[in-house]
Structure 1
């Protein structure tokens, strides 16, 4: 099938009552693990990369790697720019073939956030999806934290969505980036945001949230949940355990294959957690 627009992933999930995982990749092992889990579950999915990770290989390499792995996969998958902070991030990722965009101007004041988000909408083709963020999600993304943290104000949601022309709204409702096992979503606040939003919602920081809450997100208009830390930890842990067991280990391919399996398990577990009615 190859890559599809983020709009198609959203439409399929909304029509089928599913929640799409959005899994970050930076290398071939992570990509292979994500794609295998997608094949196992057959749930429409976002594979994504943030500018902080694209510095390792560039957006073109990420696109080439992901699109090649998906060429024979008959499940809708979009390649998403995660946390684009500048309009240049948007332009570069689109030029490389990304099919879904996040413009994260949440670190700015409200009016600047609206302005940058609207300009990102103008740059993003109409057939592609745009995600924007209202409120500022805490925690750290690739060791970078926000200058300020703020929960999403339900009273601003309708105006913000209309002004930016977005198709997805990332919200700050108690969730944080990175792995923070003690955090909880404020479900009452999430409900208020849902009621005010004309578009589906996005939850970032899916690695640390409890299964009970993750399994209910479809009830609250959530269409996309971001997961990165769990995948990265699975890969680092696999190589760390191999080294600890044998400091003279040299079978790189074998350990890489073990990492792919570990990542597949994590991604499949997350997809099934988001969609508890999914048949096995």
Structure 2
């Protein structure tokens, strides 16, 4: 199945009442590990990349890489821009063929966040792709950007923000933290209040490190997209490191990278099952 538009993926998610993981890639090995798991699970998903990781390959190469694999899949997948920190990121992703984009203007004050988000939405409309934005501020480290402060999403701002920006997905700050969250503290009461007033689907960032028993509740709170990045990168790097420690003279790059691909697949497959409260099945 070819890569599909984000609006179409959201419709499939809604019809099936599932929660789609959004898994961050950087290179070919990570991409293949992610999509291996998605295809085995048969649960629709986003595969995404942030501009800081685009530096390794460029928008066009990432699109071609993901599309080439997705063309052979039966499970629907959308390629998504994660954390577009400036308008040009959104432009580049749309022009490269991405199926959805995130414009991240949480670093601005409220009115400026609205203005920048609205600009991105109006541009993306020309390409027919949905736009995700963030309201509040999620603490932690997202690639090279570190936000030391956590600002919870204010439910009283949600209606106004969505109406004035026209945004299609809303990433919320409810105790989630970017990076490996060693002290998760999801405020489900706040999440419920946001769900009750928000007219667009919700997104949870920073799922790495949040306990499974909290992740598998999200589908009941209007969350349709859950971002996972740090867990995948850690599995990739640790697998490579362990291979090296076992044999420091090894030069068999193919099997080392196949080990890393499998490690990424195992993490993604586990996350998919947890998000959707599915019975564990062995990774093939």
Residue 266 of structure 1: aligned partner: 267
Residues 95-114 of structure 1: matches in 2 within 5 Å? 95-114=95-114
1:58-109: CA deviation from partner (whole Å, max 9, x where unpaired): 1111111111111111111110000001110000111111110100001100
Shift of 1:210: 0.8
Query: Aligned to 1:212, what secondary structure does the other structure show?
Result: helix
Any gaps of 5 or more consecutive residues in structure 1?
Answer: none
CA contact (8 A) 1:31 1:66 kept: yes
Residue 147 of structure 2: aligned partner: 146
Measured in 1, the distance between the counterparts of 2:150 and 2:115 equals 20
**Cα distance change, pair 164–224 in 1 and its aligned pair in 2 (3 A):** same
Which structure 1 residue ranges, 4+ long, deviate > 4 Å from structure 2?
none
1:210-266: CA deviation from partner (whole Å, max 9, x where unpaired): 101100101100000000001101110111001111111110000101111111100
Residue 189 of structure 2: aligned partner: 188
Measured in 1, the distance between the counterparts of 2:184 and 2:229 equals 16
CA contact (8 A) 2:47 2:77 kept: yes
CA contact (8 A) 1:107 1:148 kept: no
**Cα distance change, pair 148–245 in 1 and its aligned pair in 2 (3 A):** same
1:168 matches 2:169: yes
Measured in 1, the distance between the counterparts of 2:185 and 2:46 equals 23
Measured in 1, the distance between the counterparts of 2:11 and 2:107 equals 29
Shift of 1:29: 0.6
Residues 1-280 of structure 1: matches in 2 within 5 Å? 1-125=1-125, 127-146=128-147, 148-277=149-278, 280=281
Query: Aligned to 2:147, what secondary structure does the other structure show?
Result: coil
Query: Aligned to 1:47, what secondary structure does the other structure show?
Result: strand
CA contact (8 A) 1:181 1:210 kept: no
Shift of 1:143: 3.5
CA contact (8 A) 1:184 1:210 kept: no
Measured in 2, the distance between the counterparts of 1:2 and 1:23 equals 18
Shift of 1:278: 6.1
Q: TM-score, normalised by structure 1?
A: 0.97
Shift of 1:147: 6.5
CA contact (8 A) 1:38 1:44 kept: yes
Query: Aligned to 1:57, what secondary structure does the other structure show?
Result: coil
Measured in 1, the distance between the counterparts of 2:120 and 2:2 equals 25
CA contact (8 A) 2:52 2:144 kept: no
**Cα distance change, pair 3–152 in 1 and its aligned pair in 2 (3 A):** same
1:182-214: CA deviation from partner (whole Å, max 9, x where unpaired): 212100010011111001100000111110110
Any gaps of 5 or more consecutive residues in structure 2?
Answer: none
Shift of 1:10: 1.2
Query: Aligned to 2:142, what secondary structure does the other structure show?
Result: coil
